[in-house]
Amino acid sequence: MTDYNFAYLDEQTKRMIRRAILKGLAIPGYQVPFASREMPMPYGWGTGGVQVSAAVMTAGDVFKVIDQGADDTTNAVSIRRFFERTAGVETTEATGDATVIQTRHRIPEEPLTDDQILVYQVPIPEPLRFLEPSEVETRKMHALEEYGLMHVKLYEDISAHGAIATSYAYPVEVEGRYVMDPSPIPKFDNPKLSMAAIQLFGAGREQRIYALPPYTRVVSLDFDDYPFEASKAEHACALCGATDSYLDELIVDDAGTRMFMCSDTDYCRSRRAAGHVGAQGTPFKEDAA
Amino acid sequence: MTPLLQVEGLSKFYGQRIGCADVSFDLYPGEVMGIVGESGSGKSTLLNCLAGHLPPDTGRVMFNTRADGMRDTVTMSEPERRMLGRTDWAFVHQHARDGLRMNVSAGGNVGERLMAVGARHYGDIRGQAIDWLGRVEIAEDRIDDRPRQFSGGMQQRLQIARNLVTGPRLVFMDEPTGGLDVSVQARLLDLLRGLVREMGLSAIIVTHDLAVVRLLADRLMVMKDGHVVETGLTDQVLDDPQHAYSQLLVSSVLQV
- Contact (Cβ atoms closer than 8 angstroms) between residue B197 and residue B217: no
Residues 6+ apart with CB under 8 A from A163: A157, A226
Catalytic residue check, A29 = yes
Lowest mean pLDDT among A10-24, A193-207, A266-280, B180-194: B180-194
Q: B115, A158: Cβ pair inside 8 Å?
A: no
Evaluate if residue A98 carries a pLDDT over 70.
yes
> Is residue A219 within 8 angstroms of chain B, CB to CB?
no
pLDDT for the residue numbered A259 = 94
User: Looking at beta carbons, which residues of chain A come within 8 Å of B125?
Assistant: 155
pTM over 0.80: yes
Q: B116, A159: Cβ pair inside 8 Å?
A: no
Which tens digit of pLDDT belongs to each residue from A127-156? 999 888 999 999 999 999 999 999 999 999
pLDDT for the residue numbered A21 = 98
Of A131, A151, A159, the CB nearest to B144: A159
Evaluate if residue A2 carries a pLDDT over 80.
no
A281: pLDDT confidence band, cut at 50, 70 and 90? confident
Q: What is the DSSP letter of B141?
A: G
Average pLDDT along chain A: 93
User: Looking at beta carbons, which residues of chain A come within 8 Å of B140?
Assistant: none
Nearest to A190 by CA among A166, A220, A164: A220
> Is residue A159 within 8 angstroms of chain B, CB to CB?
yes
Q: B107, A159: Cβ pair inside 8 Å?
A: yes
Q: A156, B115: Cβ pair inside 8 Å?
A: no
Which tens digit of pLDDT belongs to each residue from B221-254? 999 999 999 999 999 999 999 999 999 988 988 7
Which tens digit of pLDDT belongs to each residue from B133-170? 998 989 999 999 999 999 988 999 999 999 999 989 99
pLDDT for the residue numbered B39 = 87
> Is residue B52 within 8 angstroms of chain A, CB to CB?
no
Q: Which residues of chain B have pLDDT under 70?
A: 256
Which tens digit of pLDDT belongs to each residue from A36-83? 999 999 998 999 999 999 999 999 999 999 999 999 999 999 999 999
| Distance set, CA B72 to CA A97, A238, B65, B80, B95 (Å) | 61, 67, 10, 11, 29
pLDDT for the residue numbered B199 = 87
The residue in chain B having the minimum alpha-carbon distance to the alpha carbon of residue A164 is B122
Half-sphere exposure of A69 (CA within 13 A, CB side): 20
Q: A155, B116: Cβ pair inside 8 Å?
A: no
pLDDT for the residue numbered A238 = 94
Backbone angles phi, psi at B232, to 5 degrees: 165, 180
pLDDT for the residue numbered B113 = 93
Closest approach of B231 to chain A, Cα-based (Å): 37
Evaluate if residue A289 carries a pLDDT over 50.
no
Report, as an integer, the average pLDDT of A264-268. 95
Evaluate if residue A288 carries a pLDDT over 70.
no
